[in-house]
Amino acid sequence: MKFGKIVFCGLILTTFAWTAALAEQKVIKMSTTTSTQESGLLDVLLPALEKDTGITVKVIAKGTGAAIRDGIDGNVDVIFVHDRAREDAFVADGFGTERYAVMHNDFILVGPAGDKAKIKGTTEGADALKKIASAKTTFISRGDDSGTHAKEQELWKASGLPLETGTSTVEKDGKQVEIKSVHPAASTDWYLSVGQGMGKTLTIADEKQAYTIADRGTYIKYKFGREVPVNLDILCEGGNQLANPYGIIPVNPAKHPHVQAALAEQMAQWLVSPKGQQVIADYKLHGKQLFFPDAK
């Protein structure tokens, strides 16, 4: 009996110790874009965050639309995305506490060096897309309701071309999700929507020697940070239409009381602190800066 009591007491102490250790853990879930992950930024940013704050971040990388839905549904504690209109709506609708401006890079249009559509040297994305449509050269769309996909649709609307609304089905979190989006009318011969993240979209565009729109960070990673780089060139860049700001938003505990609100806020404050902003500024690949700090 004494031996049994000793074992029982030992199990109780072990359970208490394990519970206490869990209580001390600072773990949050973050839904973010594929571009922050595929660019390699999170590989340096999150270890620095953990070192300074003790916060461990479980990353769920997907398109911005899906990441925002994770926040709306209370599936994560914080979102880190790049679609300003939807970010502002997320906060205005009470799902986020505040949007913190973290960083920016820009969108670019990339394609084969031969450049059949003759877009090289253009600075405004809408002009470049209009030329691609006129030449009817293959264009690869992410088609995944991401921030990049939203920017593409914005540029098609600005092009003045006849557009049509289409519906596609993509798999997200094991479920089939319908996505409605606009694209050029009568474009089935040259416009291909793939429903993929940025890295895979670049790979497909490379295989087909086609045009696509990308965020600069992921493009640099796939062009200069891989043993087999994508054979695509930057052909359109620099215009105001191609700005690409990123924001971080803690999920509002008033909507979802279970979220780790204090830790999400701590993470956001660290990202916009001088230390967090310096980590972002220092992240370079082959001497090329991928993101630029935005916090004031």
Q: Is residue 16 included in any domain, yes or no?
A: no
Question: Mean per-residue pLDDT for 133-154?
Answer: 96
pLDDT digits (tens, 9 = 90+) for 249-272: 999 999 999 999 999 999 999 999
Residues of the domain holding 146 = 106-243
Regarding whether 219 and 257 lie in a shared domain, the answer is no
What is the per-residue pLDDT for 167? Answer: 85
17, part of any domain? no
Contact assessment for residue 81 and residue 32, using Cβ atoms and an 8 Å cutoff? yes
The Cα–Cα gap between 30 and 42 comes to: 11
User: 166 lies in a domain?
Assistant: yes
Whether 180 and 78 share a structural domain: no
For residues 133 and 41, membership in a common domain is answered with no
CB-based contacts of 239, cutoff 8 Å, min separation 6: 122, 123, 124, 125
Instruction: State whether 217 and 288 are in the same domain.
Output: no
Q: Are 213 and 250 contained in the same domain? A: no
Does residue 175 or residue 120 have the better pLDDT? 120
SS3 at position 180: strand
According to the model, what pLDDT value does residue 263 have?
A: 98
What is this structure's pTM? 0.80
Query: Are residues 213 and 271 both part of a single domain?
Result: no
Task: Work out how many domains the chain is built from and give that number.
Answer: 2
Please give the span between the terminal C-alpha atoms of the chain, in angstroms, as a whole number.
67
Residue 55 sits in a domain of what CATH number? 3.40.190.10
pLDDT band at 35 (very low <50, low <70, confident <90, very high): confident
- pLDDT bracket for residue 172 (50, 70, 90): low
pLDDT tens readout for residues 108-117: 999 999 999 9
- What is the distance between the alpha carbons of residues 75 and 29, in angstroms, rounded to a whole number? 8
Give the three-class secondary structure for 120. Answer: coil
Asked whether residue 200 falls in the same domain as residue 275, the answer is no
Judgement on whether residues 114 and 210 belong to the same structural domain of the protein? yes
- Report CA-CA distances (Å) from 6 to 18, 20, 51: 18, 21, 39
Residue 7 lies in a domain: no
Alpha carbon distance 174, 167 (integer Å): 19
CA angle 44, 33, 94 (to 5 degrees): 115
Same domain for 74 and 119?
Answer: no
pLDDT average, residue stretch 101-126: 97
CA distance 220 to 234: 10
Residue 223 domain-assigned (yes or no): yes
pLDDT of amino acid 24:
60
Asked if 121 and 186 sit in the same domain, the reply is yes
Q: What is the DSSP letter of 240?
A: G
pLDDT in tens, 215-239: 998 999 999 989 999 999 999 999 9
